[in-house]
Structure 1
Amino acid sequence: MYLGIDLGTSGVKAVLVDHDQTVVAQATAPLTVSRPRPLWSEQDPESWWQATNSAVTELRRCYPRDMAEVTGIGLSGQMHGATLLDGRDRVLRPAILWNDGRSGAECAELTRRVPELPRIAGNLAMPGFTAPKLLWVAEHEPEIFGQIAKVLLPKDYIRLRMTGRYASDMSDSAGTLWLDVAGRRWSPELLDATGLDEDEMPELFEGTEPTGLLLPEVASAWGLGDAVEVAGGAGDNAAGAAGVGVLKPGSAFLSLGTSGVLFVANAGFAPNPDRGVHAFCHCFPGLWHQMSVILSAASCLTWVTRLTGAAGESQLLAEVEAAGRSTGSLLFLPYLSGERTPHNDPHAKGVFFGLTHEHTRADLARAVLEGVAYAFADGQGVLGEAGTEITSVSVIGGGARSRLWGGILADVLGRPLTYHAGGDVGPAFGAARLGRLAVTGEDPLTVCTPPDSDFVSEPDPEASERHAAKLALYRGLYRNLQEMFRVQAST
């Protein structure tokens, strides 16, 4: 048996997987995000540990015999978060999350200090990444910065609580702007630019490598044995790729989670930072990947559900399907947390454009589904500009449960999308696979195969043509509002 633990933004998911790669059980525990000031997004790392314990102990309660047979654990987690610890492993302040936009000025300063940063790190300096957050802390909270002994990514804080070891994997660490992504090692130059060195960093491992055994007290509390290996694991997107078998160059997935990701596997390091494309290490040795990232995806559906007073997301989607009509020229910009690819604009905002008296709640919801799809189309476009060829696309994440949304996405992107059985398990399942590989040493290609296909959403050529015209309006709307977003942010 193998356990996968995924530390997301809205909750922790734990899945129990047997040797036949069947998901025996899963459990979740919710998390909340604190937004104490505009552009800020934070969480208490202690809440991560409490939620992890809650999810895992629920599995123990319901499946004690299966849990006792676990030999390997894989970790997946939200990327880029800055968890700051002192010399006694005490958390110095709330963790600054991936969708926090406060460090825009620090991004410019970091690039000024290291003009070669995009070449080394494979990415532009953006507020979501970890390194600019540390410059912000140094400038605005120097008393905290002076106490830092270790900087850990969110899932690696959970690892510390599980194993007592400071460790991270290549895929997650590639999202810090401190990694030499081509060389798969910490960059002294990038660390020095933020006043840090390798002593403050965790040890690096490949995602398939063991990083340490579960502490005896944790193993006992979780009902596990005394020799459980914890794998290097992965950032949430690379773990999602492991879960749906996206290893071969050109294979891709689209993730509809809190944020949205179009992820493509690469045989080599292929940066294209000028258009906001990310180039990271994969969680498997000798592989890399590219990503386009939108900061708000399924979270937009959650938002419009709450805004309109619908009983739940499923009910609202049913209303959209029952209405069965186009939204006409109604547009939605899904930039509720700013945007990353291709705009790199923390000041961008969500916008409904073209509202009339005739529009209903279902119309607003459909516009949201379309707006997120258009943001994905922007990401697909900039990947294509870089010469990246996409051969196949799987869909994962909570939004993968909606066939309606899948049809809209296929029409907008103009390509078939494959939905897999259990696709909503996503990164947690991939993490369990990495936990297995850390124990068995098997070839990843024999373990990380695509799950069975549930259905394929095929594009409708006529609908694709209609969306192409509307996508042009969507792009023009952002261009016309871009400067206004910046003015608004400065007032």
Structure 2
Amino acid sequence: MSTAEGPLVVGIDSSTQSAKALVVDVGTGRIVATGQAPHRVTTGAGRESDPRDWWSALTEAVRACGPAAHQAAAVSVEGQQHGLVTLDAEGSPVRPALLWNDVRSAPQARRLVAELGGPQVWADRIGSVPGASFTAAKWAWLAEHEPESARATAAVRLPHDYLTERLTGRGTTDRGDASGTGWWAGPTEAYDDTVLELIGLDRGLLPEVVAPGEVAGTVREGELPFARGTLVAAGTGDNAAAALGLGLRPGTPVLSLGTSGTAYAVSTRRPADPTGTVAGFADARGDWLPLACTLNCTQAVDRVAALFGLDREAVEPGGSATFLPYLDGERTPNLPHASGLLTGLRHDTTPGQILQAAYDGAVHSLLDALG
């Protein structure tokens, strides 16, 4: 490693729409190489992706980093939260993963909240009140609508768990991503058997929760250009990873604009909001990450831009258009079956003004969640 002043590490982001890889020199913080590749999300009745597409995109992104990836001393994967990955006994996906923004499980979420005793019980016991995004509701939906898929499932994983397991051959997760499932309890920092029984999920199907700072495993032989034995960190969910990368400390709020919009802060106190607005997530360092999330952010803006054939920067000032961006339903407020709304149109309203209204609507929704 004559060109580096310290060991190289690889960070991988597997988001809703693409995989990104970054090789960094630990000694200097210098970015040595980057790579990116898209993957697919189905539309229609729900939001799903084939986990094998994530792996293919990850492989392409890492290979684009060139020889630097092979020199890496360690690698870590973070990914989109909440997604339900079901694997068979051979480790192959039983069906496409149900993504965080698939709202078909809204009825199951409402039923689970009631059956455990209501929102306050969930907030006290788990730390969050589950909505349609939470993995527990998605498993309940799968068991109800596709019982044959549930019976064929030999392992349940989150998106970043699936990718880490393909690197190491070992089923692991971390407390940050586990806290978004609805079956990992903040007060005990362990899987909750009462919730697992409620949704009909065997604890033996779940991955081991790796503590902050622990190693998840090492790279096994495979198609990626990593040296065999390269250390693999536990990884985490996307928002916990962002907080870690920012060096976030208690008292500083963050707004994040992505496919979804999030508002969060690190806290030393475990959150428990019975309204369900603030999720009581764990962070990647051993603290907590109270978080509010909207389903519709940049993806809603991009959709409006595409409808008019505009670049996303082609906004125009003025006009009276107002755009409610609930194209995928909404999580905050909890309106999973809502739809978008465009109002205030005039004869002189321009497409650029409507695009500006889409930006305004997405940001206003997030600021409302922050409040």
Note if contact 1:117-1:190 (Cα within 8 Å) is conserved in structure 2: no
Greater share of helix: 1
Name the SS for the 1:117 alignment partner: helix
**Segments of 4+ moved more than 3 angstroms:** none
Displacement of 1:227: 2.4
Shift of 1:67: 2.3
Letter in 2 for 1:3: V
Question: Does structure 2 conserve the Cα–Cα contact (< 8 Å) formed by 1:207 and 1:234?
Answer: no
Alignment of 1:331 with 2:325, yes or no, is: no
Q: Deviations over 1:385-428 (max 9, x none)?
A: xxxxxxxxxxxxxxxxxxxxxxxxxxxxxxxxxxxxxxxxxxxx
The aligned amino acid for 2:331 is R
User: How many residues are aligned here?
Assistant: 360
Tell me the residue number matched to 1:59.
65
Task: Quote the residue 2:106 is aligned against.
Answer: 104
Which letter does structure 1 place at the counterpart of 2:281? F
Kindly indicate whether the alpha-carbon contact (under 8 Å) linking 1:207 and 1:233 is maintained by their aligned counterparts in 2.
no
Q: Distance in 2 between matches of 1:275 and 1:88?
A: 37
* 1:12-43 CA-partner distances (Å, limit 9, x unpaired): 01111111222222111101211242xx1100
CA distance in 2, matches of 1:211, 1:275: 31
- Of structures 1 and 2, the one scoring higher in RCO (CA 8 A, sep 6+) is 1
For 2:152, what is the secondary structure of its paired residue?
coil
Q: What corresponds to 2:349 in structure 1?
A: 359
Instruction: Kindly indicate whether residue 84 of structure 2 is the aligned counterpart of residue 79 of structure 1.
Output: no
> Is the Cα contact below 8 Å between 2:130 and 2:276 reproduced in 1?
no
Give the secondary structure class of the aligned counterpart of 1:193.
helix
Aligned amino acid, residue 228 of structure 1: T
2:31 matched to which residue of 1? 23
Structure 1 residue identity aligned to 2:82: H
One-letter amino acid of the counterpart of residue 16, structure 1: V
User: How far apart, in 2, do the equivalents of 1:207 and 1:31 lie?
Assistant: 29
Once the two structures are TM-superposed, the CA of residue 129 in structure 1 deviates from its matched residue by 0.7
CA contact (8 A) 1:207 1:231 kept: no
Contact 1:168 1:232 in 2 (8 A): yes
Partner of 2:307: 307
AA in 1 matched with 2:269: G
The letter of the residue matching 1:243 is G
Question: 1:69: how far off?
Answer: 2.1
TM-score (norm 2): 0.94
Residues 327, 366 of structure 1: 8 Å contact kept:
no
Name the structure 1 match of 2:50. 44
Gaps of 5+ in 1: 382-491
The one-letter amino acid paired with 2:171 is Y
Correspondence 1:3 to 2:4? no
Counterpart residue type for residue 278 of structure 1: A
Q: CA deviation at 1:207?
A: 4.2
8 Å Cα contact 2:122/2:274 also seen in 1: no
Alpha-carbon distance, 1:87 to partner: 1.9
Q: Root-mean-square deviation (CA), in Å?
A: 1.3
Query: Which residues in structure 2 correspond to 1:114-153 (within 5 Å)?
Result: 114-115=116-117, 116-153=121-158
For the residues of structure 2 that align with 1:4 and 1:276, how far apart are their CA atoms?
A: 30
Compute the TM-score of the two structures, normalised by the length of structure 1.
Answer: 0.71
Partner of 1:394: none
Amino acid at match of 1:34: T
Q: Select the residue among 344, 347, 355 that pairs with 2:334.
A: 344
Where in structure 2 are there 5+ consecutive unaligned residues?
A: 1-7
Q: Deviations over 1:136-191 (max 9, x none)?
A: 11111111111221110011111111111110011111000001112221111111
Answering whether residue 96 of structure 2 is matched by residue 90 of structure 1, we say no
Q: Distance in 1 between matches of 2:86 and 2:225?
A: 30
